Structure 1
């Protein structure tokens, strides 16, 4: 194909490169010029046009797109009519799109004139959804290139595009239980799982509930097996942390085997895949309790489509496995079908507020106010705590005042904090906690409750707690530990704020941990700063940086 300025005496049969507006007519880009078009151009005083002139063997763009589409045809795949060098491939039935990605790469690498763009491999698709678009870039493809492309596609051992229909599997779910577990949380997990299964053309057997013990879960799996379960799911009361943990061990005790523990998908890392007979058996990650897309969905789609999933297949899910939405990543597809969850739907980054408790009367250090005691550099204790909070990723930083309110505010003058005054601070710690929680903004996903008399807790320690916070993965309460001993500050998901607001007396909210053990994660710290508060002068004299007290 020759392209460029073309004299009118050679223009008949050429393809016009740009739209031309003449008196009484418009010649559109891509038009094959006829004799009357050439006459009209000459009458307009033109001597040449920018056009493509076909050479022997060249294949026009529409024909080339049509022929490539024909070579890609397979069961349950449809195509549109060729126009402007483009043909779209469509799904003729719902299911899972399975691509031969290497073949598509080879086709795109063959020549710049041929291109094909597809949905991501293993996408769930609906009937008539567009799977790919074939676009011829120039106005024609060299004949030799077309011959190579068609021969390459014809020689493939399997179709490039496959729609794997979803099977109507019967799914058995075991919910394991721990003492004190909330019934509403279990019911919510069941409903979310049921919705997932039914959306994939499956059905749920009656749910089995069992103690969070290997033998009890194994017995429940065997009962489901007798009921004809074709897939087994175990939602553990406590997140699985090892292939030898309670739930994976139950699969083995029930006569099954483990295929792979963990997956390079986030959220969804803590998933365990196994099998009982020919039926898949999955220990669900904590995020499976949420309806948002996670690693469990990626695995579930493949299994319902009848694809074999090996440990190596799971390991290969890392590219594209970052499903955790962040504000910096935009929505790549403007609209997704309502029936299909999008793994790339945007979500704001998690926001965690810090509440610094600075309202106490320091009765054990009277007449001194421990929060205002200066360190060796002349910095008040509460100022050190607040500065560490400001150096962390927590925002906003809220300071609860009470006793000697004006002096505390003066010690923090000029710092970007929000003050929340507890009028009833004398009633105890719970009153100050309520004042701080009331100031937490509605958009905050969690709150880090810091004690004003713990100046050895660093910003990096706080950030370690924030990094571990992930309610969808079951990490909704985060507490620091040192050598196994629990400390402060503690990070609480927003879901617990109503219960924390209901606490009364001179106590905090730590007792709630025992009621929500399945939502707690411990984060081990490098030193004992998270254990050390300073209520007396003697204790403070042993604190780093307070030798002059």
Structure 2
């Protein structure tokens, strides 16, 4: 940095805050470090006693923090998001659509490992809404080497670190199993929970079939819902490993690809996730077998899986296995999900 006359500072970048003190009125910075001085600023600077200023010396090998912040934003931002205003080398990413936030975690770590820059975000694989803050970025020094920002581009890779997968409208169908419900001995209290969960996403229910505990009858019900045009099929009841619980076997009998039967999540250990490819039209239809806990627990594995299904973000066996860390819901008296550790 160098010291120059304030009258000669137009176009230069301040290397320190300029504070104004008016007794009983204010004590605050009128200009922040990194501010680019304009002609209009000169009288103000002189009025606070600044006849000389320390400014950044222009160097073709360096970026100003705000210039570098724009580069960092470009590394981070995918479609369906926009930047906040730049301030002191800081830019935030704001969501433009409802959807599922996806993060290239390896690239995020790689950029953060470079030093002198940082990216802090919310958790990936969780829902976001229009206007949500997705991440905050900052260039830490006032100036940073251009070469370092080139390394940041390489570390970030060819794709954005953050993307949003918008939800797709899905026609869903319910297959409710269990002789006690089928024969009217007890009231179906499961389906209202499913409808409430799906109401948070673009969806349309196209039908519900009640069926007893016979495997062949459950299979026929699932096949009917496929033929009816369901994009998503949700099966309830008969999901444990007891001999008379036949729903998993019926789902397997459709020919669906089973991703996982069982998950390291409580509540929700007996969840079944599968994908059925319809030979008639090539559609890939998720078929979910929901454990009984979904009916009565505030939050379960269904809350972790459903947003990904609605965004058509394919779930893998590894994804399910990784849910073990953070997969224990603490059943808090006041539920703050998703602003808690469940599923993270």
TM-score, shorter chain, exceeding 0.5: yes
The one of 87, 92, 110 aligned to 2:91: 87
Task: Please say if residues 167 and 201 of structure 2, whose CA atoms lie closer than 8 Å, have aligned partners that are also in contact.
Answer: yes
The one of 112, 119, 124 aligned to 1:108: 112
Structure 1 residue 7 displacement after superposition:
6.4
Relative contact order higher in (CA < 8 Å, ≥ 6 apart): 2
Distance 1:293 1:242, change over 3 A: same
Distance 1:194 1:58, change over 3 A: same
Distance 1:267 1:64, change over 3 A: same
Structure with greater proportional strand content:
2
**Alignment partners' CA distance in 1, 2:128 and 2:243:** 33
Distance 1:304 1:200, change over 3 A: same
Distance 1:300 1:66, change over 3 A: same
Distance 1:343 1:279, change over 3 A: farther
After TM superposition, the score normalised by the length of structure 1 is 0.52
Structure 2 counterparts to residues 461-480 of structure 1, below 5 A: none
**Equivalence for 1:253:** 253
* C-alpha RMSD over aligned residues: 3.5
Task: Please say if residues 92 and 137 of structure 2, whose CA atoms lie closer than 8 Å, have aligned partners that are also in contact.
Answer: yes
Structure 1 residue 201 displacement after superposition:
1.0
**Alignment partners' CA distance in 1, 2:257 and 2:243:** 11
Q: Is 1:342 the equivalent of 2:338?
A: yes
**Alignment partners' CA distance in 2, 1:290 and 1:266:** 13
Task: Please say if residues 87 and 135 of structure 1, whose CA atoms lie closer than 8 Å, have aligned partners that are also in contact.
Answer: yes
The one of 309, 321, 324 aligned to 1:303: 309
Distance 1:179 1:74, change over 3 A: closer
The one of 41, 46, 49 aligned to 1:41: 49
More off after superposition, 241-250 vs 277-286: 241-250
**Equivalence for 1:319:** 325
Task: Please say if residues 243 and 249 of structure 1, whose CA atoms lie closer than 8 Å, have aligned partners that are also in contact.
Answer: no
After TM superposition, the score normalised by the length of structure 2 is 0.80
Larger radius of gyration: 1
Task: Please say if residues 86 and 135 of structure 1, whose CA atoms lie closer than 8 Å, have aligned partners that are also in contact.
Answer: yes
C-alpha distance after superposition, 1:270-321 (max 9, x if no partner):
1012233332211101221147332112112112111221222211222332
Distance 1:284 1:180, change over 3 A: closer
The one of 108, 128, 133 aligned to 1:130: 133
C-alpha distance after superposition, 1:416-440 (max 9, x if no partner):
xxxxxxxxxxxxxxxxxxxxxxxxx
Task: Please say if residues 242 and 261 of structure 1, whose CA atoms lie closer than 8 Å, have aligned partners that are also in contact.
Answer: no
Task: Please say if residues 180 and 186 of structure 2, whose CA atoms lie closer than 8 Å, have aligned partners that are also in contact.
Answer: no
The one of 94, 100, 106 aligned to 1:96: 100
**Equivalence for 1:74:** 78
Structure 1 residue 194 displacement after superposition:
1.1
The one of 29, 34, 42 aligned to 2:32: 29
**Alignment partners' CA distance in 2, 1:290 and 1:182:** 22
Distance 1:105 1:243, change over 3 A: farther
**Equivalence for 2:265:** 265
C-alpha distance after superposition, 1:480-528 (max 9, x if no partner):
xxxxxxxxxxxxxxxxxxxxxxxxxxxxxxxxxxxxxxxxxxxxxxxxx
**Alignment partners' CA distance in 2, 1:58 and 1:132:** 25
**Alignment partners' CA distance in 2, 1:185 and 1:143:** 69
